[in-house]
Structure 1
Amino acid sequence: MLLTEYRLDLVIRALRSILPLEHPADATLRHFFQHERIGSKERALVAETIFGVLRHRLFLEQACAQEATPRRMTLAYWIRFGGYNLRELEPLLMHGESSWLGQVKAISLATLPLPVQAELPEWVIEQLQPTMSDEMILALGRSMQSPAPLDLRVNTLLATRDEVLQTFQSEGMDALPTPYSPIGIRLKNKPALAGHPLFLSGKIEVQDEGSQLLGYLLAPKRSDMVVDFCAGAGGKTLMLGAMMQSQGRLYALDVSEKRLANLKPRLKRSGLSNLHPQLISHENDSRIKRLYGKIDRVLVDAPCSGLGTSRRNPDIKFRQSPESVTGYTRMQASILASASKLLKPGGRLVYATCSFLPQENHAIIDAFLTEHPAFIQRPAGEILAQNKIPMESKTFLQLLPSLHGTDAFFAAVLERVKTTSPQEI
């Protein structure tokens, strides 16, 4: 795309509004676009540059030294990562910027500190180093510097994956089956699907492949009573309902009325009749207590730092902190303890986060098992193998974009094995 002063100014103003990172970048950018009457090409350039700058922010700040202004970060991004050369940028440059950009282009990544190479804040690296080598951290960080593909889940209540693939391929889309989830489809280019007949008819939903695997770990049966404890907008809930063939009883619990409201149109499209959304005030709501000891399967996709979604939300690693993670771990422990009381003897609970931090994952499970002797852990790898999912996984499921091409997900499978009163669990 031809770069002009007008287009550079648009990017600078958008970046200036986003970089304080007081709000999620995508929300701030939507607000910016609502107040700017600009064409689709300009929107695309602004969005691509903004998210590119956020993905490479630590390198760009290093390259800009003491002058990390929106202007200089934009120019440095374009020359280093955006595919533009000095000749294309020259008409936009001020005195001295041409030689500086030449220096930016010549920087050797290998000479930079690990946080800059991995594009991960130093505190994140410090929390990973006890369990990951620097090489693994670098691979993880680099894998999150590229945008995520668009993954879809086929609603098996209404269609098969082969049928959906044939439709997409007949339309010339670059659509392939996901390597792990047997009901997933990956689109290389990100077409707008909101008006597509397959979406409008409820046959497909947007859902990362890693998220789909959680359903196979829970493995609900048709006649089960199932609870999605932190349902949000219900993506995983809808999958569970389809796995149950719209039989049994499925509760979608959440503390956010807005998120549950977003579930309603999706539920209408899905064809499910066994799903019951329920607004709760907190994890110990009386509505939950009425279900203690009655539930066969519980999914706890716990609130977390969200660092595993950094390919989609590159700003999130700058909006979290060690303090915010500590707050999440307290919440996760409380939610897991409450959700566990729902299970019948022999019932199964899957605890999951979209985080790669051990504090939000292994540490939560280890502490729970120590405090709740009525529960044991089931090997995630065994359960996936039973579902013919070709993934090397042992006790936990730990998905990483560097290894699996999915968002970073963690999951542990817990089972209640003793007959105990809820107070003893």
Structure 2
Amino acid sequence: MTPAARIACAIDLIGVLEEQCFGPAARRRPADAVASDFFRTRRFIGGGDRRVVSELAWGVVRQRIRLGWHLDRLGVAPTARLLLLAQMLLGRSGDHGRGRQAAEAAFDDSHYGPAALDPAERRVAASLDGRPLVDPAMPDGPRLNLPDWVLPALTARFGAGLAREAAALETEAPLDLRVNLLKTDREAAITLLAGERIEVVPTPLSPWGLRLPARRPVTGTAAFRQGLIEVQDEGSQLIALLADARPGMRVADYCAGAAGKTLAMAATMGNKGKITACDTSAARLEGAATRLKRAGVDNAERHLLEAGDRWAKRRAGSFDRVLVDAPCTGTGTWRRNPDARLRTRPEDLAELVEVQHQILGKASELVRPGGRLVYATCSLLPQENEEQMDRFLAHAPGFVPIPLDRLWAELRPGLELPCEGPFLALSPGRHGTDGFFCAVLERGA
């Protein structure tokens, strides 16, 4: 493809993303799924061209809030053409004039290229040329690249540190791996990966974690194929750590999804005892089967939660550990999923808070006296975390929080406590992990 053809293709992809993911009438599908469908119907686009087109479109997605502010300030609608044009121009203050010339030249009206800029678009280009992407006149939302509706909650959470956290949410997330203790240990995994020319370093908080300084494809390595490693953010690993699932226990992973935490807990159990991975999605549980087999997990079973299912009632009060990795807004993962900050809306938060409360109520009935309920989210919002715990504990007096400092001293002795307060609360800016929350509650005898 010519450079102009790539621009035209990126404009088409941006238009589809706007229509299906972000617009007022959009289905709000995940952008990666929409992009996958887009390229699947355009098999003539080669791998190299696909990467360039994706980078152009994702550049717009990552800066969509700011680009929208600039175009709204000029009184023009955010068309796909203008969004890409704005992305090409903004932030080139040291390249005044030349940036505009290059951008206008990209719209070359060639056979496969985009149509030439019309007079109105040229006026937009002239107005944006040389301006900074982060404008001093911006209100807090665009300045921090955050939707307005999350600002009160994140300000309450981070206070003066919000700017640092917002900046961290714009960085590229690292690639973290979890060593599968059923098959190897961390030092052996480091040596094996080094033999495949993949350099990793131990994660600072998780005893099983490895971090790649630069992103590399690992799923083709022998270590991955043999089930010695799994891709898992360090913060997610710490939730499995705090669950403290031990050999011989009965454990329920109530919202297991693809079973990442099931795998980690099965390893701490040494394949002894029984762990049940539950989910409402048959497809997710089917995908989990492949991961469990590759990891050598043989103490796990899967259970599909369906309406009218009596499984939970028959097993009430019988589990030593019940992990609820609850559905949430995913605000802690926005550096990995920049489109989510555009797709997620205030009404989603209100709905999810109620869903979380209902799930907690059902899952808590599975915990035996003296057992533990572990509640986790990948959210940075207090409504889904500390406030959710306050609400649950007000309705479930039989449960008592186990303070983080006590858990940490038992599970990571000699290592500095990662945060203050009774619960684990991780963030990209402070800890370098995704944003995670974890509370461990014990049921009275």
- Matched to 1:396, the amino acid is F
CA distance in 2, matches of 1:173, 1:77: 34
Give secondary structure in 1 for the equivalent of 2:129.
Answer: helix
Please tell me whether residue 63 in structure 1 is matched to residue 70 in structure 2. yes
Q: Which one of 231, 236, 240 corresponds to residue 215 of structure 1?
A: 240
Q: Which one of 143, 150, 173 corresponds to residue 124 of structure 1?
A: 150
Q: Give 2:129's aligned residue.
A: 102
CA distance in 2, matches of 1:102, 1:148: 30
The 1:76/1:162 distance shift into structure 2, 3 A limit, reads: farther
Please tell me whether residue 43 in structure 1 is matched to residue 50 in structure 2. yes
Q: Offset at 1:304?
A: 1.0
Instruction: Give matches, 1:263-342, under 5 Å.
Output: 263-282=288-307, 285-342=309-366
Number of residue pairs matched by the alignment: 414
Give secondary structure in 2 for the equivalent of 1:330.
Answer: helix
Give secondary structure in 2 for the equivalent of 1:164.
Answer: helix
The 1:210/1:331 distance shift into structure 2, 3 A limit, reads: same
Does the CA-based 8 Å contact 2:202-2:211 persist in structure 1?
yes
Please tell me whether residue 190 in structure 1 is matched to residue 196 in structure 2. no
TM-score normalised to the size of structure 1?
Answer: 0.92
Q: Offset at 1:76?
A: 2.5
Q: Give 1:31's aligned residue.
A: 37
Which structure 2 residue ranges, 5 or more long, are not aligned?
22-26, 108-116
Q: Offset at 1:321?
A: 1.6
Does the CA-based 8 Å contact 2:169-2:335 persist in structure 1?
yes
Q: Give 1:144's aligned residue.
A: 169
Q: Give 1:352's aligned residue.
A: 376
Does the CA-based 8 Å contact 1:125-1:137 persist in structure 2?
no
Please tell me whether residue 404 in structure 1 is matched to residue 431 in structure 2. yes
CA distance in 2, matches of 1:148, 1:315: 14
Q: Give 1:245's aligned residue.
A: 270
Q: Offset at 1:107?
A: 5.1
The 1:145/1:246 distance shift into structure 2, 3 A limit, reads: same
Instruction: Tell me which moved more, 38-47 or 223-232.
Output: 38-47
Does the CA-based 8 Å contact 1:302-1:351 persist in structure 2?
yes
Does the CA-based 8 Å contact 2:134-2:143 persist in structure 1?
no
Q: Give 2:111's aligned residue.
A: none
Q: Give 2:88's aligned residue.
A: 78
- Matched to 1:25, the amino acid is A
TM-score normalised to the size of structure 2?
Answer: 0.88
Deviation sequence 1:235-283 (CA, Å, 0-9, x none): 100110011000001010111101000101111101111001111115x
Give secondary structure in 2 for the equivalent of 1:185.
Answer: strand
Root-mean-square deviation (CA), in Å? Answer: 2.2
CA distance in 1, matches of 2:330, 2:177: 20
The 1:108/1:221 distance shift into structure 2, 3 A limit, reads: closer
- Matched to 1:111, the amino acid is A
Which structure 1 residue ranges, 5 or more long, are not aligned?
419-425
Give aligned-pair identity as a percent: 38
Q: Give 1:156's aligned residue.
A: 181
